[in-house]
Amino acid sequence: MDQQQTQGRPSGGGLSHSAVDAITAVVFFAVGVVMMVDNHRIGITWATDGPESGYFPFHIGLIICIASVAVFLKAMFGKHRNQEIFVSWARFRLVLLVLLPTALYILLIQLLGIYVASALFIAAFMRLLGKISWLKTVLVSVGVNAVLFWMFEVQFMVPLPKGPLEALFGY
């Protein structure tokens, strides 16, 4: 498998569309195998009262494997392979600029509670990526969270994760 993957790579630059297509097919194949193995453990045959618990998911896994082989073959040897670069580095950087701060944000939710973390996240995003003025940044980030707090905690009484700041106000 590894060999075939490296063959799919165009010289220089990122991965081509069809290479990523093939790699995801391999990943899905692995997912299918994991499903089959785990459900085989539970039992995939017919008991006295009908099929065992693993029967249905086992066959789902099997179908995933078969379909992913088909996608893989089409991506590697198909006639209309898309050799364009999947995503250029400059554009992928933009994606990471959203993805990594979001991961950090979710981490912060656990430490500071969702309202403080959200305010910080929105403010940082606006300031660093949007270069928006300080006044607007503060107004939007605090305002949005005030509305959210009112809606979820006061109006609909849906408890969201809260941190030290909310505890200070007695929530």
Partner 1 sequence: MDELNALFHGFSTVLSWYNLGMMFIGLVLGVIIGVLPGLGGPNGVAILLPLTFTMPPTSAIIMLSCIYWGSLFAGAITSILFNIPGETSSVATTFDGYPLAQQGRAGNALTASFTGSFVGALSGVLLITFLAPLVSKFALRFGPPEFFAVFLLTFCSFVGTDKKTPFKTIISMMLGFGLAAIGMDTVSGELRMTFGWSELLRGVDFLVVVIGLFGIGEILVSMEEGLKFEGKNGRINLKVVLQTWKEMPRYWMTLIRSTLVGCWMGVTPGGATAASFMGYGLAQRFSRNGHKFGTGEIEGVIAPETAAHASGTSALLPMLALGIPGSATAAVLLGGLMIWGLQPGPLLFTEQKDFVWGLIASMYLGNFVGLIIVLSTVPLFAAILRIPFAIVAPIIIVVCAIGAYSVNNAMLDVWFMLLFGVIGYVLKKLSYPLAPMILALVLGDRMEDAFRQSMLGPGTGLHVFWSNGLVGTITTLALIMLFWPLVSLLWRMARKSGRDTVAQH
Residue 165 binds partner 1 (CB under 8 A): no
Q: Which of 76, 81, 148, 153 binds partner 1 (CB under 8 A)?
A: 148
Q: 114: Cβ–Cβ under 8 A, 6 or more apart, which residues?
A: 160, 161, 162
Work out the number of other CB atoms within 10 angstroms of the CB of residue 19: 24
State the burial class of residue 134 (Cβ atoms within 10 Å of its Cβ: 0-12, 13-18, 19+).
exposed
Selection from 2, 40, 39 nearest residue 23 by Cα: 2
150 to each of 30, 60, 106, 114, 144, how far by Cα in Å?
46, 45, 21, 13, 10
Q: Which of 7, 77, 103, 164 binds partner 1 (CB under 8 A)?
A: 103
Residue 64 binds partner 1 (CB under 8 A): yes
Q: Which of residues 15-44 bind partner 1 (CB under 8 A)?
A: 17, 20-21, 24, 28, 31-32, 34-35, 38-39, 42
Footprint on this chain of partner 1 (rule: CB under 8 A) = 17, 20-21, 24, 28, 31-32, 34-35, 38-39, 42, 48-54, 56-57, 60-61, 63-64, 67-68, 70-71, 74, 86-87, 91-92, 94-95, 97-99, 102-103, 105-106, 109-110, 114, 118, 121-122, 125-126, 129-132, 140, 144, 148, 152, 156-161
